[in-house]
Chains A and B, each alone.
Chain A
Amino acid sequence: MLTTGIAAPDFELYQTPDSRLRLSNLRGKNVILAFYPADWSPVCGDQMSLYNEMETFFTRQQAQLIGISVDSRWSHAAYSEQHGFYFPLLADFEPKGAVSKLYDAFDESTGECRRALYVIDGDGIIRWSYLSPIGINPGADGILTALETIHTNNQP
């Protein structure tokens, strides 16, 4: 995992079948990067579905949530439509896993993302990270605490 306090490496990936998202265009907002192994996990314990319920909590902290996996933009579009996700899913598909590797979030043995979380502040600095065991949904408590710490430290 990348260390905290450094600039988050910039990247650009497809967020829908026909549009791309560049990380540095989100300056001014906090960003939650959630790398996850694959689309279409069972719903009741699914990390992206859980985070989808937390829109109010993340928005309150001026945070933009972004999911990233090596699935294609077409898989993401279908998965997102079925679950009504409010946030984008980025396709780290070609070259496969390039951004995940940049964030030390790629599992060479499975060819999928590890379950890695990063919280990046409005200046593009990594402020918190966490790597969860692959079978365990890390929940959102760590993310919220990190966002609140950023908020507190930014107070004059």
Chain B
Amino acid sequence: MSSSFLTPSIGPQDHVYGNENAVIELVEYGDYQCPYCGRAYPIIKNIQEQLGSALRFGFRNFPLSKVHPNAFDAAVAAEAAALQGKFWEMHDIIFENQHSLELGNIVQLARSIGLNTDRFKEDLQLPAVIGKVKSDFESGVRSGVNRTPSFFINGNLYTGDWQGVVLLEYLKNQLPHRLNGQL
């Protein structure tokens, strides 16, 4: 709904990249097999580069399992990688290979970023890891996620366009003047 707010707000259970005191917090609910999320991936990378320490970026899982059969397992894989301290490396490489997300390929991706693959394969089965993906999804439902990707800016659901530089420009306009001048 139009007044939707990120629920719960970002906490210790979340994966957040960037300055923890950033003036802008951008949170994505994404699906690793969703082509739109794939398209958003380099756009977000660019936003992170452009905004630097003014931004922190969080990612929560919102796999549309019935539309994208590998989405849930891919989300579990990124959470399993987090147990070896490599969430963002896995998040990135999955999006860079989103057309081949069968289990065999996922394990190869894990190996390529230097994960211990024996441990990784075991961690894929952990109830806590699977539960993390499910609770992300539920929080998305609560927060009013209505498409993938959905973005929240400082807790508020962003309903505008995100393609090209539209989201970047929107975020720049949220910055205090003194910061905007420095970018």
Contact = CB atoms under 8 A, between A and B. Distances in A.
Contact of A44 (B2, B64, B138): B64
A136 B2 contact: yes
A49 B67 contact: yes
Contacts of A83: 66-67
Given A50-B146, A137-B147, A142 B1 contact: yes
B146 A57 contact: no
A132 B1 contact: yes
Interface in A33-60: 43-45, 47, 49-50, 52-54, 57
Contact of A141 (B137, B141, B148): B141
A15 B89 CA distance: 47
A80 to B, nearest CB: 12
Given A53-B64, A57-B141, 9 more contacts: A44-B35, A45-B146, A45-B148, A50-B146, A83-B66, A83-B67, A130-B1, A140-B144, A144-B141
Interface of B: 1-2, 4, 31, 34-36, 64-67, 137-138, 141-148, 159
28 contacts: A44-B34, A44-B67, A44-B148, A47-B146, A49-B64, A49-B66, A49-B67, A52-B66, A53-B65, A53-B66, A53-B67, A53-B137, A54-B141, A57-B141, A83-B67, A84-B66, A132-B1, A136-B146, A137-B146, A137-B147, A139-B1, A139-B141, A139-B146, A140-B141, A141-B1, A141-B142, A142-B144, A144-B142
